[in-house]
Amino acid sequence: MTVKVLDSVDISVAKGEFVSVIGKSGCGKSTLLYILSTMDTDFEGTLRIDGNDMRNLKDKQLASVRNDKIGFVFQFHYLLNEFSVIRNVMLPGLKLGKLKESDLEQKAYEKLKILGIETEARKKPNQISGGQKQRVAIARALINDPLLIMGDEPTGNLDKMNGEIVFDIFQELAQVYNQSLLIVTHDIDFANRTHRTIEMEDGRVL
Amino acid sequence: MNKLIVSISISLMIARLKQTLVAAIGVTFSITMFIALLSFMAGLNDLLDNLILNRTPHVRLYNEILPSKNQPVDIAKGTGSAYNFIRSIKPKNQPIEIRNSAAVIRALESDPRVLGVAPKTTVPVFYNVGMISLTGVVSGIDVDAETRLFTFSDYVVEGRPTDLKTVPNSIVLGIGAAEKMIAKIGDVVQVTNSTGQQFPLKVVGIFQSGIQDVDKVQSYASISTTQKLMGKSASYITDIQVKLHNLETAPKLAKEWSALFDVDAIDIQTANSQFETGSSVRTLISYAVGITLLIVAGFGIYNILNMMIYEKMDSIAILKATGFSGSDVNKVFIYIALSIGIFGGTLGLLCGLGGTYFISQIPFSTASLPTVKTYPVNYNPIFYVIGGVFSIVTTYLAGYFPSKKASKIDPVEIIRGK
Ligand SMILES: Nc1ncnc2c1ncn2[C@@H]1O[C@H](COP(=O)(O)OP(=O)(O)OP(=O)(O)O)[C@@H](O)[C@H]1O
Ligand SMILES: [Mg+2]
């Protein structure tokens, strides 16, 4: 059975842009992000990342696009408890294999520093707080210097204060590091402080 | 091999160390059993085969008493309107001795394919126990050749086999025959030949073949003593036993010599075909049991992998979301399966070796096997090769489907499910 979730969606995100997506629950925000991140391939139309068409790419090629060009932050942190915090951050970088392991570790350490949790680097994910976990997940999304970071309610599981911290980090990334961001949120205050807000309703962009 | 994938596999195994070890021990156990069982069975096969084969000539030349295959009437038949009704044709009186035996032996000894030649003269006799006569067979042998080629001296459990050469009119009695005659070494026993003549023979040894029916009738003497029993000349030889360098050539050479020397020749394969069958059935059973054990161990691995994958759905999803492809995930679990197989298998091979050694130390003595003191085993390296290969193949197969399932996990489905 096929369900039409999105319809006539036509959006683009420019380099260095901080975009938020809002809309009622069930309007298709997550679905949009999954499609844009190449994880969901059940769609009609075109998806271009960095000018390249993503249709007709093989599973392996899509995986390498995700690895190289996209960073994803979910509502849940999805850290691997078997690895230390810094190793979790390094994993996508190890997969990319562009840097030597020692250099990559240095880079991961710097990313953790940007997020203010470098002191937790050697701990296991189950030994740090929920807010810290989410910041580790952001560091992981940053490790390969992606073109675009997507977030699906990344602050949804956090209290007000931790949510603020994460939001400030996103803003700093956009301003200081010229990072492009596309963040789904339910928080109108949050959305108002981004460069641009995309509002959705019933699978359409308003 | 990819270092990153290996390190992910290792950390997953460490996270589930207990189950991983249990799965590996399953493989270890089955490989151990496989090796020990096959080694023991092969040892037993060797023992049983040697019981017969070591003492059987590879080719035996003799004269069969048979009516001539080319009857004159067959040659005459030509018109097609005649039919041969003649039944119960009798063989003509021809001696069972091998003609010109000395020359045949010399020719065989100079043949490079021949390991050794042992002449033999077999005489049917009666052992006299008071008024009773027991049927028996005395084989006249060349003790040295018989010992060298057919380990004769191993089966002489009392006395010295070489005394047959030095003591005139001496005999080595089968243990069953000796018991019936209550004969000990140094005693003189009476033996009657087929024409009714009685001969006193001095017992110099007791012989035990391990086959009771043989030990009740069979005795050994020197060739000249046997010739005397028969009242024949020194050239009278009924059998020429040949041992070859290569056992496999026996059927071919038997045919060749049969034609060349105009005698009957039988090769060891034809004479003992039933032993081959017994051995192969035993081997087959061992393999079947070993492989069944391995398959059971394979299911253990299949279970642990399925469980791991179920538990690590989230991890698999995030690996895929951050750029690991399906084949990377597939490899992670294949490596886990293979690690279990290689670790468990190697340990199993070592334990199998230990187990085999242990079996070889268990005392095992039976009256019918005088040379055997412990359980027989065979350290054939091929069992270890097969065990190793099988442990890897089964674990790979056990890992194949779970790994495939893991590689097909859709991260969107998992992430949505949260
Ligand atoms: N597996 C599925 N099968 C059928 N319909 C689905 C499936 N997944 C999502 N949908 C439908 O797609 C629509 C959009 O879902 P989506 O998760 O994108 O919403 P959302 O905007 O992210 O909502 P929320 O804000 O609650 O996270 C929903 O109305 C849902 O019914
Ligand atoms: Mg959603």
Residues 6+ positions from B115 with CB-CB distance below 8 Å:
B149, B243, B244, B245
* Distance in angstroms between the alpha carbons of the first and the last residue of chain A: 27
Pocket flag, ligand 1, residue A5 (CB < 6 Å): yes
Whether residue B214 is predicted with pLDDT greater than 90 in this model: the reply is no
> Do residues A73 and A151 lie in contact, with contact meaning Cβ atoms separated by under 8 Å?
yes
Lookup: tokens for A166: 């994460």
Residues B353 and B223 in one domain: no
Query: In angstroms, rounded to a whole number, what is the distance separating the alpha carbons of residues B313 and B379?
Result: 46
Per-residue pLDDT at A163: 84
Min Cα separation B329/chain A (Å): 11
Q: Cα-flanking dihedrals φ and ψ of residue B89, to 5°?
A: -75, 135
Query: In angstroms, rounded to a whole number, what is the distance separating the alpha carbons of residues B221 and B122?
Result: 10
In a domain, A12, yes or no: no
In sequence order, what DSSP letters do the residues of B1-61 get, joined into one string? Answer: --HHHHHHHHHHHHHTHHHHHHHHHHHHHHHHHHHHHHHHHHHHHHHHHHHHHTTS-SEEE
State mean pLDDT over B251-272: 86
We report the CATH number of the domain holding residue A34 as 3.40.50.300
Residues B378 and B258 in one domain: no
Lookup: tokens for B310: 């179920």
- pLDDT category at A5 given cuts 50, 70, 90 is confident
Stronger pLDDT, A133 or B286, i.e. the higher one: A133
- Of A15-19, A68-72, B55-59, least confident by mean pLDDT is B55-59
Query: In angstroms, rounded to a whole number, what is the distance separating the alpha carbons of residues B69 and B91?
Result: 10
A28: left (phi over 0), alpha (psi -120 to 50) or beta: left
* pTM listed for this prediction: 0.74
- Of A65-74, A81-90, A132-141, B80-89, least confident by mean pLDDT is B80-89
Residues B232 and B281 in one domain: no
ipTM of predicted assembly, 2 dp: 0.91
Count of domains in chain A?
1
Pocket flag, ligand 1, residue A27 (CB < 6 Å): yes
User: pLDDT tens, B355-400?
Assistant: 999 999 998 877 666 677 888 899 999 999 988 998 899 889 988 9
Q: List residues of B whose CB lies inside 8 A of any A CB.
A: 4, 11-12, 14-15, 314-315, 317-328, 410-412, 415-416, 418
Per-residue pLDDT at B370: 66
User: pLDDT tens, B127-142?
Assistant: 888 888 889 999 999 9
Three-state DSSP state, B324: coil
Whether residue B1 is predicted with pLDDT greater than 60 in this model: the reply is no
Per-residue pLDDT at B89: 81
Query: In angstroms, rounded to a whole number, what is the distance separating the alpha carbons of residues B7 and B13?
Result: 10
Per-residue pLDDT at A124: 92
- pLDDT category at B221 given cuts 50, 70, 90 is very high
Query: In angstroms, rounded to a whole number, what is the distance separating the alpha carbons of residues B414 and B418?
Result: 7
- Output the CA B54–ligand 1 centroid distance in Å: 81
Which residue from A31, A42, A202 has its CB within 8 A of the most atoms of ligand 1, so it is best to mutate?
Answer: A31
Query: In angstroms, rounded to a whole number, what is the distance separating the alpha carbons of residues B226 and B232?
Result: 9
In a domain, B83, yes or no: no
In a domain, A124, yes or no: yes
Lookup: tokens for B160: 């010295």
Per-residue pLDDT at A181: 92
Indicate the residue among B235, B265, B295 that finishes a domain.
Answer: B265
User: pLDDT tens, B20-35?
Assistant: 898 899 889 988 988 9
Residues B70 and B13 in one domain: no
Min Cα separation B303/chain A (Å): 21
Tell me which residue range forms the domain holding A88.
18-205
Residues 6+ positions from A13 with CB-CB distance below 8 Å:
A19, A148, A180, A182
State mean pLDDT over B221-225: 90
Per-residue pLDDT at B330: 93
Pocket flag, ligand 1, residue A26 (CB < 6 Å): yes
Eight-state DSSP code of residue A120:
G
Indicate the residue among B245, B265, B285 that finishes a domain.
Answer: B265
Pocket flag, ligand 1, residue A126 (CB < 6 Å): no
Yes or no, beta carbons of A96 and B323 under 8 Å apart:
yes
Per the DSSP assignment, residues forming a β-bridge with A73 are A151
